[in-house]
Structure 1
Amino acid sequence: MLPETSLRGTLLAATVALGLSATGAFAQQEPCIGNSVAVTGPAAFSGQAIKLGAEIAIDEINAAGGVLGKKLKLIQYDDAGAPPRGVDNTRRIALADKCIAVLGGFHSTVALAQVDPIHEIGIPYMGVWAANTKAIENGRDPNFMFRISAKDKWVARFLVDEALKVSKSGKIAFFYENTGWGNGALPDIKAALAAKGKELAAAETFNWNDQDMTPQVIRARDSGADVAIVWSLDREANQILRSMDKSSWKPTIIGAWGISGNLGELAGPLANGVRVMQTYSFQTEQSATGKKVLAAIEAKTGIKDPKDIKAASGIADAYDAVYLLADAIKIAGAYDWKKVQAALYEVSRDGLVAPYKPAFDKKDPERQDALLPQYYLLTVWHDGKLIPFKGSPYDK
């Protein structure tokens, strides 16, 4: 008898082979989008936001008659931030549900794990949160991984620019988690600084669930850095802030959007003034589309104050992602993976987050990302809420 791990691998290979051999039978996919996101665990807020944004877009599209005469449906799966579950969900969405596309979630570790099954099967993937550069710039041709979200390579440049604006010493420290997301960001941050003629004063890493960052904080403090770029999730950023407080070090803190979920709740007043890159806020002046989405959020959740909306970027990115997929299906003229993948390069529309004209460019590997960095937004934690930095108490 085969060991359990070998048997599982054999069965999985057989499933993939069956799916690939049945490509002809799958030429007409179903009018559904599979959503593999974290709806449990510490990043559950992200999955809930993505689900909400996708559902609002699908409701609007279906109210207008659907796509090619069919109503769209969202099929929800939980990956809990675990790469193996993300892989399993991808296969289930494609081979069992036969959906036209996969929506990707919060964790870059999951997105990286999905690259292989996405291309083995040939189903379009649309990322709406995970920002790892190589998940999308993966060297595949044709490339089935698309994204409407931030990209770490561009985020690094954005954060470095903001850091150098406020630094008096020109010395920047970098705190990053020891994961595919964090480790992938280190060379991006170094490259962004090198382009400005600078080097990191300190680079400190940590693991998920670490409870004390004091040694890392002290080394960064003693480097002379007066700005800290933080590349982490909320729970670890909370520990970084507490260690900074204990070590009497108060640098300006600027973070990637892993700290945009519940840092204000975890860290309390220590989070005040922590700046965070985002792609969208419902607290700025809203377009007609933004007002319509706000009304839908209130109808679905009861939330009336935009300040109480969590993970606005996840909602908005998912909303636009569904519309771009719907446009591609219309251009393709069929619910067919290959045709929709090719049609995505022809999509052009004014979205909620940004104009996408065109959304993607097949000739440019960087342009499997639809959201360009000029549309990134700086926000800041204040009294437990994430608010636009412009006009905030910290905008001096």
Structure 2
Amino acid sequence: MTPALPRFSRRLLLAAGAASLSLAFALPAAAQETVKMGVVAAMSGQSAKSGEAIVRGLSLAIDEINAKGGVLGKKVELVVRDDESNPAKGVIAARELVQREKVVAYFGGVDTPVSMAIVPFANQSKVPFIGVWAAGTAITRNGSPENYVFRVSAVDALVDVALVDYAVKKYAAKKPGMILINNPWGESNEAGLKTALEAKKLPYAGIEKFETGDVDVVPQLTRLKDAGADALFLVANVAPSAQVVKSLDRMGWKVPVVSHWGPAGGRFTELAGPSAEKVHFIQTFSFSGNTSPKSVAVFEALKKKFPEIKTAADVTPAVGIANAYDAMHLTALAIAKAGSTEGPKLREGFYEIGSYDGLIKKYDKPFSKYNQDALSPSDYLFTYFKGDEILPLVN
């Protein structure tokens, strides 16, 4: 049975897809008056807040693009599909967007396994797929001679270097351990962490895996403790990350935890309890304490479009909003450069983007055929939860 969508997700789906529903009953000529963009993301389940953030960021950027005349003289509309964090459902959603909805590009999503499953279809169909969350290295570095996958998000291989650097600098770690989710995302970071540790000539205490549904990881953590781990690298999404924190509490083991950004994707503080605030994790953006004119303007626009947003704590996770917002604007620029929405021409348009003053940073030639990731390690920051708000850590 398909889980019922949370109330906010239903509202976002209705708002984002209203134009699509009306166009389904319009004449073919009218259907050509808009440019459709798609999104495949987790709009239900434990990662639904991440999906909500992605749709909010895309929607806000579309409002700005349409206010300036859209792309190629046509308004942009967004078609949303829920992948339920399921790779098979993600591929079905991607096929539906491309083959039935005729989107010119589509964005996704939260989970690396879902994005990895979509990559072959994206390259086969020659319709650009732009990642705005999932960080698996092989999503963009997929070996395709004609790569149609771009990303405005973190990249595991680069994140892992940052995690190791942080653990050494912040905690003087000499023998860290790894506690990784048992899926392609965990595998991606296992490889990256090994490489990053080897570069620093640091040993690791051990590598432990666990499943999304595990409610107790004390045995794995005990093995890491007995092996002398003086810090832990954590890679998992919200619910399993919370189980690691709760298991550490049951053990009474106060080891530093340096995490990928999985905890940011949902109700981490609610699920993990008070010790959630002890976990330091990576992000690409935060509204909290950010006084840049772009950040202030986007935050005000968010509050106006989504009245339930009152403070920075209400936009958690801000990284989903920021990545998606910049990705949509960069895609619009690529269309303008290409002068077309045809897949092969649009792909070339991404390589022709010059500069763009985005929310995360000022981009300068963000994509090339040799690097289809727009963000670099210098765009990462470390954060922690204070209540429900994600705050940047002062290094």
Do both proteins adopt the same fold according to a TM-score greater than 0.5, normalized to the shorter chain?
Answer: yes
1: CA distance, partners of 2:290 / 2:48: 28
Match of 1:352 among 345, 355, 359: 359
Q: Is the 8 A contact 1:38 1:47 kept in 2?
A: yes
The AA in structure 2 aligned to 1:120 is: Q
Call closer, same or farther: CA 1:37–1:153 in 2, change over 3 Å. same
Contact 2:246 2:273 in 1 (8 A): no
Task: State the Cα distance separating 1:29 from its structure 2 match.
Answer: 11
- CA offsets per residue over residues 265-312 of structure 1, 9 Å max, x none? 211211122101001000132322211210121112221211332110
Match of 2:282, SS state, is: strand
- How far, CA to CA, are the matches of 1:166 and 1:330 in structure 2? 44
Q: How does 1:157-306 map to 2 (within 5 A)?
A: 157-168=161-172, 170-261=174-265, 262-302=267-307, 303-306=309-312
Alignment of 1:133-152 (within 5 A): 133-152=137-156
Which residue is 1:22 aligned to?
Answer: none
Determine the C-alpha separation between the residues in 1 that align with 2:387 and 2:290: 21
Does the CA-based 8 Å contact 1:105-1:129 persist in structure 2? yes
> Structure 1 runs of 4+ off > 4 angstroms?
none
Name the % identity: 38
Q: C-alpha separation between the residues in 1 aligned to 2:34 and 2:205?
A: 52
Using the alignment, how far apart are the partners of 1:173 and 1:385 within structure 2?
28
Residue matched to 2:328: 322
- State the TM-score, normalized to the length of structure 2: 0.89
1:343 matched to 2:349: yes
Secondary structure at the residue paired with 1:203?
strand
8 A Cα contact 2:290 2:296, kept in partner: no
SS at match of 1:76: strand
Query: What CA distance in whole angstroms lies between the structure 2 residues aligned with 1:326 and 1:128?
Result: 15
Distance 2:103 2:294 in 1: 27
Which of 366, 375, 378 is the matching residue for 1:374? 378
Q: Secondary structure at the match of 1:359?
A: coil
- Secondary structure, counterpart of 2:161 in structure 1: helix
Provide the residue aligned with 1:361 in structure 2.
Answer: 368
Question: How far does the alpha carbon of each residue in 1:233-280 deviate from its partner, in whole angstroms, 9 at most, with x for none?
Answer: 121111111111111211111100111132112112111221010010
Task: Check whether the contact 1:252–1:274 (CA below 8 A) recurs between aligned residues.
Answer: yes
Q: How far has the Cα of 1:201 moved from its partner?
A: 1.0
In structure 1, distance between residues paired with 2:318 and 2:175 = 32
What is the alpha-carbon distance in structure 2 between the residues aligned to residue 189 and residue 98 of structure 1?
A: 39
Deviations 1:15-38 (A, max 9, x none): xxxxxxxxxxxxx99611111111
Query: What is the aligned partner in structure 2 of residue 7 from structure 1?
Result: none
SS at match of 1:34: strand
Residue matched to 2:7:
none
Structure 1 unmatched ranges of 5 or more: 1-27
Partner Cα distance (1:386, 1:174) in 2: 23
Task: Give the Å deviation of 1:169.
Answer: 5.1
Shift of 1:188: 0.6
Question: For 1:339 and 1:29, how far apart are their aligned partners in 2?
Answer: 20
**2:15 aligns to what?**
none
Q: How many residues are treated as equivalent by the alignment?
A: 361
1:331 paired residue number: 337
Give the Cα–Cα distance (whole angstroms) in 2 for the partners of residues 166 and 288 of structure 1. Answer: 31
Q: Is the 8 A contact 1:30 1:335 kept in 2?
A: no
Whether the 8 Å contact between 1:153 and 1:188 is mirrored in structure 2 is yes
TM-score (normalizing by structure 1): 0.89
- Cα deviation for residue 196 of structure 1 reads 0.4
CA drift of 1:121 comes to: 0.8
**Could you say which residue in structure 1 is the equivalent of 2:159?**
155
RMSD, matched Cα? 1.4
Shift of 1:73: 0.5
CA–CA distance in structure 2, aligned partners of residues 155 and 118 of structure 1: 25
1:17-32 aligned at under 5 Å gives the runs 31-32=35-36
Q: Structure 1, residues 363-395: CA drift from partner, whole Å, max 9, x if none?
A: x2xx210011101011012234321112xxxx6
1:83 to 67, 82, 87: 87
Unpaired stretches in structure 2, ≥5 consecutive residues: 1-31
Stretch moving more, 158-167 or 204-213: 158-167
